Structures are given as C-alpha cells and as structure tokens.
Amino acid sequence: MPELDKKAASVFAGRVVRKDLVRKVKVGAHVPVFVLEYLLGLAHHQQKNYAEAVNHFTAAEVIAQATETNRLTHGFYFQVGTTFERKGDREQAVKYFEKCLKLSPDFPEALNYLGYMWAEHGENLEQARAMIERALKAEPKSAAYLDSMGWVLYKLNQPKEALDYILKAAAASEEPDATIFDHLGDVYAALRETEKAREAWRKSLSVEKNDAVQKKLDAAKTD
C-alpha cells in the first residue's frame, strides 16, 4: 500500500462501504442525497476508482452548498483532498486540504498529509516542515508523523537531523513498516553508512517488495 494511502487509511479505518448496498439504499429509501453521494465517493475511493470518487464527492459538495452547508466539515474536505491526491491532481488536493485547515487549523492528519505530500515531491519544504512540526506537537509519539519529519529534514539535506526522527518512527511503529525502513536506508546512504543503509533496505523489502528499493539495494552492493 502506498504510504499516502496508509496515512489516509489510518484516519478512516473501518469505513468500508459496499457500492452494491449503497445502490440498494438509493432506490426508494429516504436518505439525504448528500449522504448517498458521499458514501459512493467512499466506496469508489476504497476500490481505487479515484476519478469516480472525486465525481461523487464534488457532487456531494455542490448539494451541501445549496442545502446543508453544515455537512461541509473539515473531515469532509480532508477526505476529498486525499482522493484528489490519489487521483494525481495535487493542485486540487492542496485546495481541499487548505479548506480543511481553514475550518480546523490544528487538525494533525491534514497538517501531516499535506506536509508529507509536499516533502515527497520536494515542494514548499520549509512550509511542509512547519506543518509536520504542528502535527507532531499534537501527537508526539505518532510513527507516521515522526517519519514525515525525518523525511522532510532529509529532503532539506539534513540527514543527520533526519536520522533521529526516523529511528524514533521505526521504534514507535506497531509493526514493521516498509516505507519507514526505506527512508531509513536513504538517510543512512546520505550519511555514507552503506552497510546500515543496506540493512534498512533489506528490512523494507522483507515487509513489502518494491522495485525501486530493490534497485537501491542492488546498487549499494556494487559500490
């Protein structure tokens, strides 16, 4: 599972929606149209049909704007933002994350998600670090947030500072995490600790096979 999907799943754990059941409800049931569009959006997101999910979420937004604006919560905007990100439309994702944070400025999931997204693409790195710092202040023992902080510091060419955060992330994670070990390997490589980098990448691959990580490990073996 891609790391950004994991971060979203950690927020929306347990919200499994079956489209067939939603369609049955839609026929003849007195259920608000906003709720139906939202549930269909969730269902498509879970099946990775992100374009279709976006269509349902934006339809829900239009309906709520016309009838029940109280439904447009920070959680709703966060969900739409994650879906746009997974669809590959980062511009729209930022728009919805900013809507979320306007309603709830200290919402740690959104601060971390947006900060990590920017760090992953090498964008707005100082702003990303500030956002992740705020998320960590709210939840200082979160493995995801510790990893995000380490990753943005790595992207800022501060591998020594990054190492401490990513080691803490690995220790705080409830189960071995492929992405955290991959990040750890990259940080060790930047610090020229090649054997430790290899060990971290091997651990990453033992959790989840990944061609990019395998290539880094193979390249390190030939150094």
Helix, strand, coil % over all residues of the chain, rounded to 5: 80, 0, 20
**pTM exceeding 0.95:** no
pLDDT for 46-100, tens place per residue? 999 999 999 999 999 999 999 899 999 999 999 999 999 999 999 999 999 999 9
Please give the C-alpha separations between residue 184 and each of 98, 154, 196, 203, in angstroms, as whole numbers: 30, 10, 9, 10
Could you tell me how far CA 211 lies from the centroid of its own chain?
A: 21
Cα(100)–Cα(116) distance, integer angstroms: 16
Phi, psi for residue 140 in degrees, rounded to 5: -65, -15
Q: Give per-residue pLDDT as tens, 100-131.
A: 999 999 999 999 999 999 999 999 999 999 99
32 confidence band (pLDDT: 50, 70, 90): confident
Q: Which two tokens stand for residue 11?
A: 């927020």
CA angle in degrees (0–180, nearest 5) for 184-187-192: 125
Q: What is the CA radius of gyration of the chain?
A: 19
Identify the pLDDT of residue 150. Answer: 98
pLDDT at 221: 78
- If you average pLDDT over residues 186-191, what whole number do you get? 98
First and final C-alpha spacing in the chain: 30
Residue 200 has pLDDT above 60, yes or no: yes
User: Residues of the chain with pLDDT > 70: what percent?
Assistant: 85
Burial of 156 (0-12, 13-18, 19+ CB in 10 A): middle
